[in-house]
Amino acid sequence: MSALQILGDGDQNQEKRELEERVLKAQADESSGQREALLGEYRSYVIKIASRICKRNITIQDDEYSIALAGFNEAITQYRRSEPSSFLTFAYMVVQRRLADHYRREQKHQNQVPLIPPDSRENEPTHREVVAESFERYRERELAEVRRLEIQQFSQSLARVGISMNDLVKSSPKHRDTREDMLAIARKIAANEKWMEEFLHQKTTKKSFAEKVGCHRRTLKRHRVYLTALVLVLIEDLPLLRDYLGLPVEKKGGGLGAEGDCNEEKSATLCGADS
């Protein structure tokens, strides 16, 4: 079982499907005007995620905005219906990687690092099948890298509240109904800053708190580890996990900064427990 699977079952709503249909139409017919429409409609979204990734306010005058917008446009070109994430999550990942590449190039500029990486499509043979296969491998590597970084961040966030990935695996509910109930409670907690602070920073679950969120105290106590993980997904910058739960890509609350290390093999093998 993957880290995504531990937290629950994914869901796609009508709005996501309609957006993805527009993206596919933009790919299929450049004269449809869909690409230009999408770039215009989602300009504020691009600014918002670029500001979040860069950890400062980005404006349309900044180079980062141009890079982020180009990344969003690239996402429109690259997105496939078979992607494991929604289009906006996929676009977020592409923009994130493009900005990371930009900063790496800036840092290594004095060493004359080429702007075109060795595995760029521009260096591939022109045979169509070879290019297509190489491009798919490149996209798969990108997705795997973003997923790895997100699992690492999630592990660090859990560690800040005294939870390990192993704890999460052991405590994950087996029944879907229970997972859905916990997600509903997690959303209530994440939407209320005072409740969130109380829940994350108190070691015991009070009866008064359980009553506020509409759940029995024993139930909250039994599923506290799992519920904490869900709250962190809702407030942290974790678009893949949020998308898997059928939640908006953009976070709704303040994040808990985390430092530390993650045992990657352990994260990848989350895998053994039944949810």
* pLDDT tens-place string over residues 64-108: 999 999 999 999 998 988 776 788 888 888 898 888 888 877 776
| Arithmetic mean of pLDDT over the chain | 75
Other CB atoms within 10 Å distance of the CB of residue 44: 9
Assess whether pLDDT exceeds 80 at residue 264.
no
Whether the predicted pLDDT of 109 surpasses 60: no
Global pTM?
0.50
Domain ranges of the chain: 10-154, 162-272
Mean pLDDT, residues 229-236 taken together: 88
> Above 60 in pLDDT, residue 272?
no
For the chain, give the percent of residues with pLDDT over 90: 21
Q: Quote the tokens at residue 118.
A: 């060795």
Q: Is the pLDDT of residue 140 over 70?
A: no
- Overall average pLDDT of the 28-37 stretch: 92
pLDDT tops 80 at residue 143: no
What is the structure's pLDDT at 262? 33
pLDDT at 249: 58
Tokens 């950890």, located at residue: 55
The model's confidence at residue 254, banded by pLDDT at 50, 70 and 90, is very low
Structure tokens belonging to residue 216: 């029995």
Identity of residue 186: A
Distance in angstroms (rounded) separating the CA atoms of residues 64 and 54: 8
For residue 110, pLDDT over 50 is answered with: no
Distance CA 113, CA 30 (A): 34
**How confident is the model over 150-205, as pLDDT tens digits?**
888 888 888 888 888 888 888 888 888 888 899 899 999 988 989 998 898 887 88
